[in-house]
């Protein structure tokens, strides 16, 4: 069994000062003078305000202390040192749940949901709803070690199943994820269903063999293709030539922040709130700092190439993920909108489908209370 080692985030003043000096010295390029700067990429006015907050108001020491608030560890699994939170809650080992993030998020996405999921009675909830939480950093992301070349979500699922079963000793567990975390979680259900007994997703990644088969599915696929034309340039780059963005981002914290912030803006439900209301600058910067301080902007981009090198999204004829699957459909998901249920059910054994009232791609970060309520309700049914 791999040794489990306690872990702490440790950023030195010199390391942070170097980053902040790079932010201050950034040679700002011209930006289009148009009403909606987000239409061309990250909005210049927003980015300048974010960087000013970064250099003048962001308390990185407080952020580091916050990142050390929950018990976290590393363990060697195959060729990787996996970083993970392990919060043993009121469930006391009886209800393990692995929760997996995506790109450009991090394990920090779940910060405002962790205590409510692990210790519901502290918030007026039922202790029977408690989970033991395992929240890893994807390989190549954050405080997990980096691969020597791109790996994908199926490999990650194998590593995470080993973490849950052989390292932490859970014979069976539940799994939840969004973005790449949804793909990892899907592969946990597909390849490791003997242990991952039920899964919960807030993005549906797998595609059934044969594609759309009725009018509603064709309309969704057409809409999806149109959204990808407008917002999918990042995907095409990272899935084909990820090192191109790595060369531009290395040593450029402002460029990394712009690339990440654009995704948070474009993929979120901002119908009733501003960007700052959805993601206060301190929170967004902590997520960005995890990338900048660990050098994982590069290996995070590689993860897209890993998708195609491991076979992509589609099943072959007659294949389906049979592990019971719950799906939370957050309405502010503009790029990866939910397909019709008929389409999803040809790829997944969908046993629960919840249309959420608000929230987008980064569900746990945008709407932590809705996320917690949904995961609790699913947990009661499993």
pLDDT tens series, the chain, 382 aa? 689 999 999 999 999 999 999 999 999 999 999 999 999 999 999 999 999 999 999 999 999 999 999 999 999 999 999 999 999 999 888 899 999 999 999 999 999 999 999 999 999 999 999 999 999 999 999 999 999 999 999 999 999 999 999 999 999 999 999 999 999 999 999 999 999 999 999 999 999 999 899 999 999 999 999 999 999 999 999 999 999 999 999 999 999 999 999 999 999 999 999 999 999 999 999 999 999 999 999 999 999 999 999 988 888 898 999 999 999 999 999 999 999 999 999 999 999 999 999 999 999 999 999 999 999 999 999 9
Tokens 């072959």 sit at which residue?
316
| Contacts by residues 222-229 (CB-CB < 8 Å, ≥ 24 positions apart) | 223/337, 224/336, 224/337, 224/339, 227/334, 227/335, 227/337, 228/335
Say what the alpha-carbon torsion angle 155, 161, 164, 167 is, to the nearest 10 degrees.
-70
- Residue closest to 363 by CA, chosen among 324, 333, 325: 333
Which pTM does this prediction carry? 0.98
Tokens 């700067």 sit at which residue?
37
Give me the pLDDT at residue 1, please. Answer: 67
Distance CA 199, CA 103 (A): 20
Give me the pLDDT at residue 78, please. Answer: 97
- And the tokens for 40? 């061309």
Distance CA 309, CA 311 (A): 6
Give me the pLDDT at residue 2, please. Answer: 82
Give me the pLDDT at residue 313, please. Answer: 86
Give me the pLDDT at residue 363, please. Answer: 97
Say what the alpha-carbon torsion angle 217, 223, 229, 230 is, to the nearest 10 degrees.
-150
> How buried is 7 (Cβ within 10 angstroms: 0-12 exposed, 13-18 middle, 19+ buried)?
middle
Give me the pLDDT at residue 91, please. Answer: 86
Which domains can be identified in the chain, with CATH numbers? Answer: 41-382 (3.40.50.1820)
């Amino acid at each position: 069994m791999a040794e489990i080692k306690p872990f702490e985030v440790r950023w030195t003043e010199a390391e942070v000062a170097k980053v902040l000096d790079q932010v201050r010295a950034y040679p700002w390029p011209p930006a289009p003078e148009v009403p909606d700067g987000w239409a061309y990429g990250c909005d210049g006015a927003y980015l300048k305000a974010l960087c000013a907050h970064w250099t003048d108001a962001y308390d990185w020491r407080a952020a580091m202390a916050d990142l050390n608030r929950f018990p976290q560890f590393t363990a060697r699994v195959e060729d990787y040192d996996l970083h993970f939170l392990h919060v043993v809650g009121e469930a006391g080992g009886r209800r393990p749940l692995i929760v997996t993030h995506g790109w450009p998020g991090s394990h920090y996405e779940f910060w405002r949901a962790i205590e409510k999921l692990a210790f519901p009675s502290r918030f007026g909830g039922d202790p029977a709803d408690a989970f033991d939480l395992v929240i890893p950093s994807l390989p190549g992301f954050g405080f997990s070690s980096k691969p020597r070349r791109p790996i994908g979500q199926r490999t990650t699922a194998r590593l995470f199943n080993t973490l849950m079963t052989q390292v932490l000793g859970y014979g069976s567990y539940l799994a939840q994820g969004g973005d790449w975390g949804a793909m990892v979680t899907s592969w946990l259900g597909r390849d490791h269903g003997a242990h991952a007994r039920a899964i919960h997703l807030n993005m549906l990644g797998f595609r059934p063999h044969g594609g759309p088969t009725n009018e509603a599915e064709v309309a969704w696929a057409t809409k999806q293709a149109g959204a990808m034309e407008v917002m999918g340039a990042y995907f095409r780059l990272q899935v084909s030539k990820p090192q191109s963005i790595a060369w531009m981002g290395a040593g450029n914290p402002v460029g990394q922040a712009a690339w990440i912030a654009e995704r948070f803006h474009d993929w979120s439900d901002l119908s009733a709130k501003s960007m700052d209301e959805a993601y206060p600058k301190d929170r967004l910067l902590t997520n960005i700092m995890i990338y900048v301080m660990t050098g994982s902007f590069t290996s995070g981009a590689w993860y897209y190439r890993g998708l195609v090198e491991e076979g992509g999204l589609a099943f072959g004829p007659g294949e389906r993920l049979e592990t019971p699957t719950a799906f939370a459909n957050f309405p502010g998901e503009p790029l990866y909108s939910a397909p019709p249920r008929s389409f999803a059910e040809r790829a997944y054994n969908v046993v629960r489908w919840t249309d959420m009232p608000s929230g987008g791609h980064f569900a746990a970060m945008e709407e932590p209370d809705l996320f917690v309520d949904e995961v609790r309700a699913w947990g009661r049914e499993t």
